[in-house]
Structure 1
Amino acid sequence: MTTFKQLGLTEKTLVALEKKGYKTPSPIQEKVIPLLLAGEENIIGQAATGTGKTAAFGLPLIEKLQGTHRPQALILAPTRELANQVAEEIESFQTGKELRVLSIYGGQSYTIQISALKKGVDIIVGTPGRVIDHLDRGSLKLDSLEYFILDEADEMLNMGFIDDIETIFKKANPDKKVLLFSATMPKEILSVAKKYMGNYQLVSVKNDQMTTTQTSQIYFEVQEEDKLNALCRIIDVEPDFYGIVFCKTKLDVDFVTGKLMERGYQAHGLHGDILQKQRETILDQFKNKTAKILVATDVAARGIDVNDITHVINYALPQEIERYVHRVGRTGRAGKTGIAISFVTPQEYRKLISLQKITKTDIQKGVIPSAEEIIAKKKEQLSRDVDAVLDGQKYMDYLPIVKELTKTHTPEEVIAALLRLNYDDSFNPQMYKEISEVKIDTTGKSRLFIALGKKAGYSPRSLVDMLVTETGVKARMIDDVRVMEDFSFVTVPYLEAEHILHAFKSRKVKGKSLISKAKMDRGSSSAQGKRGFSRRKR
């Protein structure tokens, strides 16, 4: 098995990777990193989202670039979210090196970005539109650029950025190296390569090497108060369950672990307050399957290297897309299949939609197992266990006791009593708490209010372009665009609206959301109106 050290990375970078919990390079990293360190060729890398592309080009950049504080590498990304994600990941690879990394995108103040550019930047990650704006303003110059990198190139072409990419390319140092990463390889990608890259090395990772293809991804719609019972049902219905339950906080880890142990499950909790010696004991017990359920925070789970985990449970969706990808990557390893399950409350549904769009992952809706299904599974397991004991004749020592018990009771009564002693009410459907199924209406369209208008320099076309750039929503999905002096309205399908709202959730204007549901929709029952949640007992 290849190691990061064998790829030629320096000790400082290896220390940073160890702190992040990176053990071995992914297939795309194993192929691309040595090529970039050698520095001889332009590269096209084909690999799916979530397979480590950022590290594949980010680690060599950290190794090769000097802290001159002039733009030496430009990485173009299709959306603000991805630009931020890539910039943060590259920043995290540094240990004692002073390369300055900056993400630039539409919607953020020009003043902030220009100030950072004036101070000096080594690596820029940006969306095409905002990069062009800075080039036109003269606040960004690319004459010293050494690396021009297109991330998710196929998605940028789909979003109509080809002209912007060509504009930026022409303004950059002609001697730069060009790197292009894409999940698919349509003719348009190869056309761009032929036009601008000259000779290049094509690096492709086969699907059977991609972690994400080995994992089935499912979500369950639940209310917050039903998550624990839903978790228990999933564990009960999967006799070979061996997995990690991810929680947001230490308190959540303690709560879930405690409740599982109260119910008789062999579970351990892991978070930052756990002492190192105790952590080692917990991990040893998890690895040898003495305890098959590990409840953990993202930070505490770093460095856990177990290949045969069957399930990853997102007790709550993570805030960062990258954390979701890392969580899911814990299962479906070494050629084995895995299952990643996410609990989604009505309040988290918007996040789920955004997650699916950004990662380009189809997460299927699942149905929480019913009490009847769980009881049927337990009966099947009991039957298998009894057959195994009978086949191995491991019951002989108990025959004298059986003869004593059956003197005053029938064999059926004795067996029933023993089952009651061992299983209590496990086979009684009435003992399973009902779980309310959350039905989320995703039909119709939503009218969105945007606190930007003509005074901010927007026209219908430029407003649509901004939304496409920032969120990845297709332009054809946005209609009925009305731009006023100080604000605007657009209409989009419900799922796209939820994605836009999530993408802009942290953006404020005078303390209020930059984008929100239009007031005319609130309280309406029309197709463009409110989205209700119906609850049905399971």
Structure 2
Amino acid sequence: MEKLEKFKSLGLSENTLKALSRKGFEEPSPIQEKTIPYLLSGEKNVIGQAQTGTGKTAAFGIPLVEKLNRKPGSVQALILTPTRELAVQVSEEINSLRGYKKLKIMPIYGGASIEAQIRELKKGIDIIVGTPGRVIDHINRGTLDLSKISFFILDEADEMLNMGFIEDVEKILSKTNNEKRMLMFSATMPSKIKVLAKKYMGEFDIISVKEEQLTTDLAEQIYFEVRKSDKFEALSRIIDVEENFYGLVFTRTKVDAEEVANRLIDRGYSAEALHGDISQYQRERILKKFKTKNSNILVATDVAARGIDIENLTHVINYSLPQNPESYVHRIGRTGRAGNEGTAITFVTPEEYRKLLFIKRFAKAEIKKSTIPEIKDVINTKKQKIKEDIKSTLSDNINNVYEVLAKDLIEEFKEPEKIIAAVLKNVYQDELETNNYNEIKEVSIDKKGKTRLFVALGRADEMNPKKLVDYIEKETKVPGRIIRDVRVFEKFSFITVPFEDAEIITAIFKKKSKGRKPLIERAKEKKDNNDRNDNRNNDRRSNGRNSSRNYDNNNRRNNYNKKNNSSDRPKRNYNKSANN
């Protein structure tokens, strides 16, 4: 099938097709295949339902690029996202899709200079990707006019709901015109989303794709605990212990990709590096070489590997742990395809173990611990392969000249074993030498320990130990019975939970914080382990030498209470939550 043929059939312009080619896209994802032609041809409002990591951004970004032209003086499209990170990501993605079209796209979010954003808005922006809070701020300042927009897009609508943004979204919608086209994308479809759609979208169609398992059962998922300095040695052993290794090796940066690929080449492997600095010509050459198996190892970054569709991979190796769970799902989804089994291997340093736990929960995947092959195992595997190669050659028709030479050698030296050994050494050189490999030191990760967490709520917020435990259980679904050593002070509290549950709690509250400091985070290590005077000393410190720390705590608590009491935000009362 011709490259980009399916994208061409969707009716895209040559400019967009070239942009997709530069990004390495080959085929549209299911949500893209259904949504793009609908948005290009129809006029109705749309709800797109698909899981995270299925290409939703391009599903609405490509039609926007196709339908809009530069129009100085007024915003043509507004895309709302729940987090600043997503706003930046969506903005960059659409910017890369516009090709040579002169559209101006800008993310606006809290934490960035509002003065700089105002200057850019005055110059004229076509597509704004923003978080609700900062968008409302600009509307209130009179620096953002949404009365003439053509498209209003709500990205990750279910997350907007979970994070308490729906009232903000409604406030923003009230400032838009009635003629706009509204698009809503969500991984799930809770009832409140449907209520919002009926209230503001009028007639709408739902475009959904079949929900698939995040990670395939055909991909065996394992992880190795390894020091950073031993990762390359571990990679070499994995490659050598496999009979026909054909895999993608993911690194975090382009520098790492180059370094790992070059070290593999120096060791005699057939490897290539793929990253953002590679030209389009080089990219196509490298991919062609890899797809035809003229090279069997491709070391790549997430960005460079986006859109690549390669069949029959035996391995995907996370040389560097991915930045987020979505990237993990994308990476390992490239093995275990079309009924073929594959293996996804992740290298984890002791410092990264918490992150691995978070990825496991998100992907709902069983990632089992395994042991790195020992040197003797690698050598035995190579010996077996040599035997099989010789057996295979014996079954072929061997030229008589070699048989004559073999007889001459046996008659002359009378030692067949030594003759065969000399031939093997001549052919395989030092392939079976154990000193080709370095020792890998064993690492130990404490998986059963406890973690102390700091909570920016205390007696001043009407908290007591029971209410605090009930509140955390309500918000995170972590069982209250495992929350121990609860200490509630005037303006903050401490709790102790098992290592793994600490990851759940901190991740959830970080997500709910909307870019501000979360209500719950890991406690700083104590300089003095004597707990006898904790209560008295902590209360005294609130007015003493740690005033800057308490200023941050007060800000977090005030932000929390402001959110609960503000008339334009959802009412959320932790006492009510605790008693429900």
Tell me the TM-score normalized by structure 2. Answer: 0.68
- Aligned match of 1:52: 55
Once the two structures are TM-superposed, the CA of residue 51 in structure 1 deviates from its matched residue by: 1.9
Q: Tell me what 1:447 maps to.
A: 453
Cα distance, 1:232 vs structure 2: 0.9
C-alpha distance in structure 1 between counterparts of 2:155 and 2:418, whole Å = 68
Q: Which has the larger radius of gyration?
A: 2
1:32 aligns with 2:23: no
CA change 1:175–1:448 in 2 (3 A) is farther
Percent of residue pairs identical: 51
Bigger shift: residues 303-312 or 282-291: 303-312
Q: Whole-Å Cα distance in 1 between the matches of residues 83 and 452 of structure 2? A: 22
Farther off after superposition, 83-92 or 93-102: 93-102
Contact 1:317 1:342 in 2 (8 A): yes
Assess if the C-alpha contact under 8 Å between 1:446 and 1:521 holds in 2: no
CA contact (8 A) 2:215 2:365 kept: no
AA matched with 2:12: L
Alignment of 1:458-477 (within 5 A): none
2:438 is equivalent to residue 436 of structure 1: no
Question: Given the alignment, which residue of 348, 351, 369 partners 2:372?
Answer: 369
* Cα distance change of structure 1 residues 418 and 345 upon mapping to structure 2, 3 Å threshold: same
**Are 1:125 and 2:129 an aligned pair?**
yes
Letter in 2 for 1:102: P
Give the residue type in structure 2 aligned to 1:433.
N
Deviation digits for residues 27-51 of structure 1 (CA, Å, limit 9, x no counterpart) = 2111101111123222222322222
Mark the CA change 1:112 to 1:326 in structure 2 (over 3 Å): closer, same or farther.
Answer: farther
Aligned position for 1:227: 231
Residue in structure 2 matching 1:199, options 200, 203, 207:
203
After superposition, give the CA deviation of every residue in 1:397-429 in whole Å (9 maximum; x if it has no partner).
644444445555565555555555555665676
What residue in structure 2 maps to residue 470 of structure 1? Answer: none
Aligned pairs for 1:244-323 within 5 A: 244-247=248-251, 252-269=256-273, 282-296=286-300, 306-317=310-321
Consecutive unaligned residues in structure 2, runs of 5 or more: 464-473, 532-580
- After superposition, the Cα gap between the structure-2 partners of 1:35 and 1:254, relative to the gap in structure 1 and judged at 3 Å, is closer
Change (3 A) 1:156 1:300: closer
Question: What is the letter of the counterpart of residue 74 of structure 1?
Answer: L
Q: Tell me the distance in 2 between the aligned counterparts of 1:62 and 1:275.
A: 24
Higher mean Cα deviation, 218-227 or 430-439? 430-439
Residues 334 and 68 of structure 1: CA distance in aligned 2, closer, same or farther (over 3 Å) = farther
Q: Give 1:144's aligned amino acid.
A: K
Q: Tell me how far 1:82 sits from its aligned partner.
A: 2.1
Q: Tell me which amino acid in the other structure corresponds to 1:62.
A: V
Counterpart in the other structure of 2:157: 153
Q: Which amino acid aligns with 2:502?
A: Y
Q: Is the 8 A contact 1:85 1:322 kept in 2?
A: no
C-alpha distance after superposition, 1:355-381 (max 9, x if no partner): 677x75747254243225434543543
Aligned with 1:84: secondary structure? helix
The 3-state SS of whatever aligns with 1:265 is coil
Is contact 1:460-1:483 (8 Å) kept?
no
CA contact 2:452–2:494 (8 Å) conserved in 1: no
Instruction: Map 1:201-216 to 2 at 5 A.
Output: 201-206=205-210
The superposition leaves residues 116-173 of structure 1 with CA deviations (integer Å, 9 ceiling, x where unpaired) of 5565544333344554565566665544343333323344444455555455445543
In the TM superposition, residue 338 of structure 1 has moved relative to its aligned partner by 4.9
In structure 1, the residue matched to 2:571 is: none
Q: Distance in 2 between matches of 1:503 and 1:159?
A: 8
CA–CA distance in 2 between the matches of 1:81 and 1:491?
A: 30
CA offset digits 1:328-385 (Å, max 9, x no partner): 565566675654444343455566567677x757472542432254345435434443
The Cα of 1:435 is off from its aligned counterpart by: 2.0
* Aligned alpha-carbon RMSD (Å): 4.9
Q: CA contact under 8 A between 2:329 and 2:363: conserved in structure 1?
A: no
Higher relative contact order (CA 8 A, sep 6+): 1
Q: Secondary structure at the match of 2:20?
A: helix
1:290 and 1:524, CA in 2 relative to 1: closer, same or farther beyond 3 A? farther
Cα displacement string for residues 442-482 of structure 1 (whole angstroms, at most 9, x for unaligned residues): 543343598xx99xxx9899xxxxxxxxxxx9556699798
Contact 1:307 1:333 survives alignment (8 Å): yes
Match of 1:9 among 9, 12, 37: 12
Number of equivalenced pairs: 502
1:265 is matched by which residue type in structure 2?
Y
